[in-house]
Structure 1
Amino acid sequence: MPEHDDAKADAKATGAVTPQGSGRASKRPARSAPAFGAFVRKEPVRAPVRENTQANTPVGASTAQADGLRVETAQSWPADAVEVGAVIEAYGLKGALKIAPHAQGGKALLAARRWWLLKGREQPERHSAVRASAKVHGDSIVGQLAGLTDRDTALLLRGARVYVSRADFPAPEADEYYWVDLIGLDVANEAGVELGKVADLIDNGAQSVLRIEYPETGKDGKPTTGERLIPFVGVFVKTVDLAAKRIVVDWEADY
């Protein structure tokens, strides 16, 4: 199965939101601003519920070892693991997995050498395996893990969340930032007014939006959390300094 490695051949394979360069809907001229992209998490596509008891059977240590999956523990799990997708189905007859990526194009899934799989919530089963190949397939990623050659075993992984070590992410292009690197950064405007911290990124289909949280006082006089939504586009986002953990925006506190 050939690996998809030509990200520029298809805009959907970039793993980044399409850069936006337009300004506000006003009469002022549009500025030549840098383009910002983001690796934005999306909700995985849910697999249809099927009456298939085998698909709900735990993978188990013996099955994992026999099929090339390495059993992991909380201690062996990488500290920088980032959830990047979810297994929605087996693909074909040779043990390939169909993954719903959390970011358009699944850039991190295509680049990482090893995938880490977490199945279950209360007492999750942890496994990892070397990615033998991966390619974009519509809105999904089809990946083959080394040693996993049986469809029935692949079905046992349905519903597993797929993680990749942050260190294995491909280097972003100029003015492109991964969402995981933006969470928690302080946000201030050009006048130095602190606006809060990045709590999340939202994909509205046209662009990414920073969701900023900040402390405020409610009508009852009690402390609460306020929210600001700032489009993550060059006309508003002036600088992103990951080292300083700070974003400067063209945005007023009373917007």
Structure 2
Amino acid sequence: MTDNGKPSEELVTVGRVTTVYGVRGWVKVHSYTEPMDNILQFPNWRLQGPKGWEALEIDAGKRHGKGLIVHVKGIDDRDLAARLCQRDIAVARELMPELERGEYYWHQLEGLKVVSHFDGEDHDFGVVARMMETGANDVMVVRGGADKRERLIPYLPDQFITNIDLEAGVITVDWDPAF
């Protein structure tokens, strides 16, 4: 755990407990995984608490309506389950499945510097502050850079994303600095 309360390098945030469900200790979960029920592959979660990341074992989980509900081992009461709400869920990074070449997890892209060589000139757009899903495609929210602007750049490899170099920490885009 880092001093700012964010997961350390060994943990990846994969969702959030939102609210209680029923009276037997179940909670609703907003998953950041794709598809959303992939979060259920990880039975050992870490839940962000006031004293850092706490271990949490899931003993049941399923789709419910448009979301997910889970049951935490040892919690069979609505009031106890309420203590878990509005807290981030993380899992150990080494538990994340290996991706194919050219595929990246969002956490790998966040924090990378974004540059463009548009019209023969170099432009520093800042860093990827976060990723977001829009339905049509994912979008990089890029902040900072020389002009201190926020840009929304579609995450479309081979269209706008021309290179991703994780070692150098740089994403090269084909993007007009006026946008």
Task: Give the 3 Å change call, closer, same or farther, for CA 172–132 of structure 1 in structure 2.
Answer: farther
User: TM-score if structure 2 supplies the norm length?
Assistant: 0.72
Query: In the TM superposition, what are the counterparts of 1:193-208 in structure 2 within 5 Å?
Result: 193-196=122-125, 197-208=127-138
CA distance in 2, matches of 1:135, 1:178: 23
1:133 maps to: 60
Query: In the TM superposition, what are the counterparts of 1:1-12 in structure 2 within 5 Å?
Result: none
Which structure features the higher share of strand residues?
2
1:79 maps to: 8
CA distance in 1, matches of 2:178, 2:13: 35
Q: Secondary structure at the match of 1:181?
A: helix
Displacement after TM superposition at 1:231 (Å): 0.7
Aligned residues: 171
Task: Give the 3 Å change call, closer, same or farther, for CA 130–192 of structure 1 in structure 2.
Answer: farther
1:228 maps to: 151
Cα contact 1:111–1:168 (8 A) shared by 2: no
Query: In the TM superposition, what are the counterparts of 1:115-154 in structure 2 within 5 Å?
Result: 115-119=45-49, 123=50, 127-154=54-81
CA distance in 2, matches of 1:87, 1:212: 27
Cα contact 1:211–1:230 (8 A) shared by 2: yes
2:86 maps to: 159
Task: Give the 3 Å change call, closer, same or farther, for CA 145–178 of structure 1 in structure 2.
Answer: same
Alignment-mate amino acid for residue 232 of structure 1: Y
Q: Secondary structure at the match of 1:244?
A: coil
Displacement after TM superposition at 1:232 (Å): 0.5
Alignment-mate amino acid for residue 79 of structure 1: S
| Two-structure CA RMSD over aligned residues (Å) | 3.2
Deviations 1:144-187 (A, max 9, x none): 32333444422332333322233333334554322211112122
Q: Secondary structure at the match of 2:39?
A: helix
Query: In the TM superposition, what are the counterparts of 1:170-189 in structure 2 within 5 Å?
Result: 170-173=97-100, 175-189=102-116
2:95 maps to: 168
2:167 maps to: 243
| Structure 1 unaligned blocks of 5 or more | 1-73, 218-224
Greater relative contact order: 1 or 2 (C-alpha under 8 angstroms, separation 6 or more)?
1
